[in-house]
Amino acid sequence: EDAERISSADVAVVQERRRVLEDWYNWREVMEEELAEERAHLGLPADPVEELLKAKAAEVAPNGEEQVIE
Amino acid sequence: MRPVLLAGHERALTQIKYNREGDIIFSTAKDQHICAWFAHNGERLGTYHGHQGAIWTVDVDPTSTIIASGSADNTIRLWEVKTGKLLKTWDFPTAVKRVEFNEDGTKLLGVTEKRMGHLGTIVVLDIKVDPEAEQSDEKVMTIVCEESKATVAGWSYLSKYIIAGHEDGSVSQYDGKTGDLIYNVNVHELGSPITDLQWNQDRTYFITASKDKTAKLITAKELEVLKTYVADTPLNSAAITPKKEFVILGGGQAAMDVTTTSARQGKFEARFYHKIFEEEIGRVRGHFGPLNTVAADPTGKGYASGGEDGYVRVHLFDKGYFDFNYEVERERQNRLAAQGGN
């Protein structure tokens, strides 16, 4: 009887965690979609920094050529 | 987890920041210089000298070209990462407690201290992420905190909002373009200052730490409290880990506030909580004083903590950390893997 009570409590805990986990990922999905839409609407690249890093790399090594340091 | 001890500061740490690639760590302390370190071996990359007072805050732009710092000498300074050259100094009537770049590094906010005759403010500066460029003197925006001074602040996704944490425990959302106050919500215990505010990677939500011994996960858009992490000590800092669904909390009672015994030495701990389930899952000890700042490596490989003891401790996560999962998480991963395989 004790074992049964414990296991039903465990089941409740696990079910609650399953629900909390699903809630979280559902919210993330909605938020990420919304953010992607907003970025697209503003004409911004999906990753705000990627372009900046490319520009910086181009400055360090123009035309994509690697600099040779002797 | 093998820590690397970075001994380069002589005074209490105030803030730690990783660059975007997670290979460089910047640290500030009350000892008036900023340090830069290689994250993988703790070797010092350089120091930035010039401030005339305790340095409260540092941030690095997303391309790791420039850093900004704020100090008790009432200035914000801009430095070139590579050379350590001071590029620009902005003067304010009071100390600068927090600086943060927006997501593309073109704007910098600064939180200024409240003092007799001066209300606390949040100022915004336009930045050119170019060490050769002339930086503008002009403050493009000033938000005055009439009710309760801001202690921390940051830029949301798309620089849409400025979010501030206040001395009274509340959080404000301001329009990122106009500076207009949109919401102010009491999230922490009334009168318990918010000590830190850090973002998740896309800046759609953030974590606050408070002296009320809790940390909270809050949405940028609605200021909705999603999660609460309850600790047993006042908190100074909180960070969100990428890759794994954890948060890291740092704090502790200052030595003068507790009975100091040798048993307590080295027992100031970083606390790990499961971000989604809000449960504590582990602690990492080591500091000899309260943790003033914690930072998560943006690539997910480790974290760093800075203590009142003057040390920075850098930890690389081991296999056990990455393997740790709740049963329901494993279940979900298996389900997704099965779907992906179909």
Q: Which helix (H) or strand (E) holds A50?
A: helix A50-60
**A24–chain B Cβ distance below 8 A for any pair:** yes
How many CB atoms neighbour CB B270 within 10 A?
Answer: 25
- Give the N- to C-terminal CA distance of chain A in Å, as an integer: 80
Q: Which of B63, B240, B278, B325 to mutate to test the interface with A (most CBs of A within 10 A)?
A: B63
> Distance (Å) from the C-alpha of residue A46 to the closest C-alpha of chain B?
11
Q: What is the pLDDT of residues A37-70, one digit of tens each?
A: 999 999 988 887 888 888 888 876 665 455 555 5
Q: Chain B contact for A18, CB < 8 A?
A: yes
- Per-position pLDDT tens, chain B of length 342: 679 999 899 999 999 999 999 999 999 999 999 999 999 999 999 999 999 999 999 999 999 999 999 999 999 999 999 999 999 999 999 999 999 999 999 999 999 999 989 999 999 999 999 999 999 999 999 999 999 999 999 999 999 999 999 999 999 999 999 999 999 999 999 999 999 999 999 999 999 999 999 999 999 999 999 999 999 999 999 999 999 999 999 999 876 655 555 445 667 999 999 999 999 999 999 999 999 999 999 999 999 999 999 999 999 999 999 999 999 999 999 999 998 865
Kindly list the residues from chain A whose CB atom is less than 8 angstroms away from the CB atom of residue B202: 32, 35
State whether A49 and B329 contact (CB < 8 Å). no
pLDDT value of position B264: 56
- CA-based nearest residue to B254, from B190, B206, B309, B188: B309
**C-alpha separations of B72 from A1, B78, B92, B247, B318 in Å:** 65, 15, 10, 30, 38
pLDDT greater at residue A31 or residue A68 = A31
Query: Which residue in this structure is represented by tokens 């921390």?
Result: B152
How far is the first Cα of chain B from the last one, in angstroms, to the nearest whole number?
37
Measured in residues, chain B has a length of 342
What is the model's pLDDT at position A54?
84
Picking from A14, A17, A25 by the largest number of B CB atoms within 10 A of its own CB, the best residue to mutate is A17
B226 in contact with A, Cβ within 8 Å: yes
- pLDDT of B257 reads 53
Helix (H) or strand (E) holding A9: helix A2-41
Which residues in A lie closer than 8 A to residue B330 (C-beta atoms)? Answer: none
Contact A52 B63 (CB under 8 A): yes
Between CA B177 and CA B287 the distance in angstroms is 41
Q: Say what the pLDDT of residue A62 is.
A: 60
Q: Least CB-CB distance to A38: which of B158, B219, B328? A: B158
In B, minimum Cα distance to A34 occurs at: B204
CA distance A39 to B234: 38
More confident residue, B136 or A6: B136
Q: Return mean pLDDT, chain A.
A: 83
Chain B residues with CB under 8 Å of A39 CB are: 158
Partner-chain contact B277 A39, CB within 8 Å: no
**Shortest distance, CA B134 to any CA of chain A (angstroms):** 18
* Partner residue opposite A20 with nearest CB, options B104, B105, B276: B276
User: What's the pLDDT score for residue B258?
Assistant: 55
**Contact status, residue B56 vs residue B76, Cβ threshold 8 Å:** no
Interchain contact A58–B (C-beta under 8 A)? no
Closest chain A residue to B329 measured between Cα atoms?
Answer: A21
- In this complex, is the C-beta atom of A54 within 8 Å of any C-beta atom belonging to chain B? no
Measured between beta carbons, the chain B residues lying within 8 angstroms of A38 are 158
Determine, for residues B276 and A18 on separate chains, whether the beta-carbon distance falls below 8 Å.
no
At B202, the amino acid letter reads: D
Instruction: Please tell me the distance from the alpha carbon of residue B300 to that of residue B307, in angstroms, as a whole number.
Output: 21
Tally C-beta pairs within 8 A across A and B. 51
Give the tokens for residue B125: 């500066």
With contacts defined as CB-CB under 8 Å, which chain B residues touch A53?
62-63
| Residue of A25, A49, A51, A60 best to disrupt the B interface, most CBs of B under 10 A | A49
Q: Quote the ipTM score.
A: 0.92
